[in-house]
Each structure stands twice: as C-alpha cells, then as structure tokens.
Amino acid sequence: MSATASFRIHEVPDDLLAAIDYCYDQGWTDGLPVVPPVVERVKAMLAADGRPPDTVIARHPATGLDLSLHAAAVNAVMAGCLPEYFPVVVAAFEAMDRPDFNFRGSTASTGGSAPLVIVSGPYADEIGMNADVNLFGPGNRANGTIGRATRLILRNVFQMLPGISDKSTQGNPGKYSFCIAERARGNPWPLLCEAQGYPKGTSSVTVYAGGGFCNVENHGGNTPEQILGSVADAMANYGCITLGQAVVILAPEHMQIVAGAGWTREQTQAYLFTRAKRPVEGMKSVGKYRDREYDTQHGAGAHPLAEKGFMHRGLGPDDILITMGGGDAGGHSCFIPSWSRGRGSIMQHSAIRAPKLR
C-alpha cells in the first residue's frame, strides 16, 4: 500500500465477498466495506493522471512515508472513486504536502481534525459533484468517495491509524469523508479558484484541517448585519475560539441577503473578523488566553489583537474563507473551526490537472 510496496499484487479468490473480507483482514478499511482494488481499475485510475505510477505526490513528515500515484490510485479505487475523480484526489494531496498545512499535527493530534476538501470551478460540475441540497450529507458519489479516498490514504499509506498514530480524542464524522463543491449557480461572488488567481477555466482544490461542523441557523434575519452577526457569534464561542483560520459556507438564502445589499467577499470577511471576538478577561476566565502560545509561534510580545481587551478569531480578515453552498431553501449556513489551538495548520490550495472527459 505504501510507495515502497506500490506494485505488489495480492492473490485472492475470485469471489467478490471474499475479496472484500480480505481487505478487512489486511486492515485497509475505514470500518466500511471497500471496493477490491483489482489491477484493471487501478490502471484506469492512473490513466486519469498520466504521470509514471511511482511519482511521489506527498510525504508524511512524521512517518517518513511517501504517497505515490500508484498508492493513491489503489486507495481511490477502494473508496469507490471513478477515474475522473482522481485528479481531485491528487490535487488535494499536492496541496496538503506543503509545510504550512502540517500533515504531522493535523493527522495525529488529539484535536481530531478532518481534511476538508473544497472543489471550486467547472471541473466540479463536469464530474457531477454536489454543491447544492444536502451539501455536507450523503448521496453523491463524487463528494463521498473523494473525501473517503483522502481518509483511506491517510490510513493506509501514511499509517495514521486510530488509537495508534491518530490520537484524536473524539474525532468527528468528517473523518469518514469531508468533501464539497463550491456552488457556482447563482453565486454573486468570484469563485474561489478565481479569487486564488488561477487562469480562467482552471479549477482548484482547497484543503483545510477542519474541526467539527457547526450549523448556524437564522431564519429571521433580513440584513447582512443580522445574518453575519449569527455567524460571528458561532465563530467566537468560547468552546472553539482560537487564533486559527475559519471556513464559512453561506446558504443561498443568507448569501442573497448579504450580497443583495452589495456586500463583497472582502467586506464580509472584514465584518466577521471584527465581530468574531471575546474579551480577554472572558478568555482568561475559561483558561484560553495564551500570550505564551502566540509568542512561541510569532515571536516575543503580547498578542497584538488583545491590545484593546479583545481576542479575535484568526489574525485578520484573510483568515476567513467564505463562499456559498447548499440548497435554495433554508436559513442554515455553517462555520467549520480550525483544528489546532493556535495556527498549527494553514489552508492550502492547488490547481486540478483535469483530463478531457468524454
């Protein structure tokens, strides 16, 4: 399963259920049945990238293990991916391979993060990803299996095993699959791939070490301040406020109110950052004010955002990723907190090398 054993062939009986049981016996599953990675399916997956199978696309700094295209393809097959999904899986790991993402901490610590994968651009529609109703829920093969392939690779290739190397205290359901598409239909703002500076027509993957999903319900607000005030309060609750980044997915109903009043993404980020805060005394009262932690990561001196007696979530507006997703009906947006107590992982993005689909 690792790069060093990427071309090993396992001989098993010509029986589907026996092959599934064999995968269980080898410890290759996330607890659910996997698709046996027969040679033909692995080759079809690799054809969607085109580079040599032994090409290394990521390395885990804690284990020293490499992820080859072949190993990624094997796990993508087991997750149930179609070949056209494979470029998304590859782009996600190329993004996560950057030092600022921090593979080591985000996959092994007690925080229990799950890599959130956000696909932006036309490729999401080409492969049938869901950006609409039940965005984070079950029912879409592309979303479900791309996210699952991410988890299987972390488990099988990088050996992030629950209870052994993955020390998550409680974990979260996103550790099975945590993959969505940005909704382009009716989106009044530039897509993330455009805001990230990619050429027109290029799709991107953004990866984020996310904590548990937080639903933000507001059916009564009818101004940007009311809607975003609810979101900011969720971002700054004492249970999860840190210096870390944030992901906010606005439901179309909420986006219509915010963008309909002429607010841009940048204005919205600034508003949320300004209001996603708690008083330093309140932070001290729950034991979460850590000047020393800031000093360790950023140099000597008190946290600059606490000068006026408040602690904000993140270091600035750019720490908040905001876009639109979900069904047309319902005042339900969401906030996804960052994994670490501080800034242990910074979100990354990468272009998708999209093959031409038939």
- CB count in 10 Å sphere of residue 134: 12
Residues 277 and 238: their CA atoms lie apart, in Å, by 10
On the question of pLDDT at 73 being above 60, the answer is yes
Q: Name the band, by pLDDT with cuts 50, 70 and 90, for residue 205.
A: very high
Residues 168 and 273: their CA atoms lie apart, in Å, by 29
- Whether residues 270 and 170 fall in one domain: no
**Backbone phi and psi for residue 233, each to the nearest 5 degrees, phi listed first:** -65, -40
Q: What confidence score (pLDDT) does residue 94 get? A: 97
- Whether residues 98 and 180 fall in one domain: yes
- Rounded to an integer, the average pLDDT of 81-98 is 97
Q: What confidence score (pLDDT) does residue 109 get? A: 79
- Whether residues 70 and 183 fall in one domain: yes
Q: Quick check: is 294 in a domain?
A: yes
Q: For 202, what's the count of Cα atoms within 13 Å in the CB-facing half-sphere?
A: 16
Residues 344 and 350: their CA atoms lie apart, in Å, by 20
What range defines the domain where residue 284 resides?
212-337
- Whether residues 86 and 150 fall in one domain: yes
Q: What confidence score (pLDDT) does residue 341 get? A: 74
- Whether residues 246 and 183 fall in one domain: no
Q: What confidence score (pLDDT) does residue 144 get? A: 98
Q: Quick check: is 9 in a domain?
A: no
- The sign of the dihedral angle between the CA atoms of 188, 194, 196, 197 is negative
pLDDT tens digits, 137-154: 999 999 999 999 999 999
Q: Confirm if 183 and 37 have CB atoms less than 8 A apart.
A: no
Q: What confidence score (pLDDT) does residue 130 get? A: 98
Q: Name the band, by pLDDT with cuts 50, 70 and 90, for residue 306.
A: low
Q: Quick check: is 4 in a domain?
A: no
Residue with tokens 């986006």: 255
Q: Quick check: is 323 in a domain?
A: yes
- Whether residues 147 and 202 fall in one domain: yes
Any idea how long the chain is?
358
Buried b (16+ CB within 10 A) or exposed e, 185-223: eebebebbbebbebeeebbbbbbbbbbbbbebebeebee
- Whether residues 194 and 135 fall in one domain: yes
Distinct helix (H) and strand (E) counts, the chain? 13, 12
- Token code pair at residue 271: 């508003």
Q: Quick check: is 354 in a domain?
A: yes
- Whether residues 240 and 322 fall in one domain: yes
Q: Which residues contact 31 (CB under 8 A, 6 or more apart)?
A: none
- Whether residues 188 and 50 fall in one domain: yes
Alpha helices in 80-182 (DSSP H): 86-96, 103-108, 122-126, 141-156
More confident residue, 62 or 200: 200
- Whether residues 114 and 197 fall in one domain: yes
- Rounded to an integer, the average pLDDT of 225-233 is 98
pLDDT tens digits, 249-300: 999 999 999 999 999 999 999 999 999 999 989 988 998 876 555 445 554 4
Number of structural domains (the chain) is 2
- Token code pair at residue 288: 């979460």
Q: Quick check: is 7 in a domain?
A: no
On the question of pLDDT at 4 being above 80, the answer is no
- Whether residues 200 and 85 fall in one domain: yes
Full strand arrangement of the beta sheet holding 348-351: 179-181, 114-120, 204-210, 348-351
Residue with tokens 């990427």: 6
Q: Which residues contact 347 (CB under 8 A, 6 or more apart)?
A: 101, 206, 207, 208, 209, 245, 247, 321
* Strands annotated E in the chain: 56-59, 66-68, 114-120, 179-181, 204-210, 214-217, 246-250, 277-279, 310-312, 320-324, 332-337, 348-351
Q: Quick check: is 2 in a domain?
A: no
More confident residue, 1 or 144: 144
Q: What confidence score (pLDDT) does residue 305 get? A: 65
Q: Quick check: is 59 in a domain?
A: yes
Task: Share the mean pLDDT of the chain.
Answer: 90
Q: What is the β-pairing status of strands 348-351 and 179-181?
A: unpaired
pTM above 0.85, yes or no: yes
- Whether residues 190 and 226 fall in one domain: no
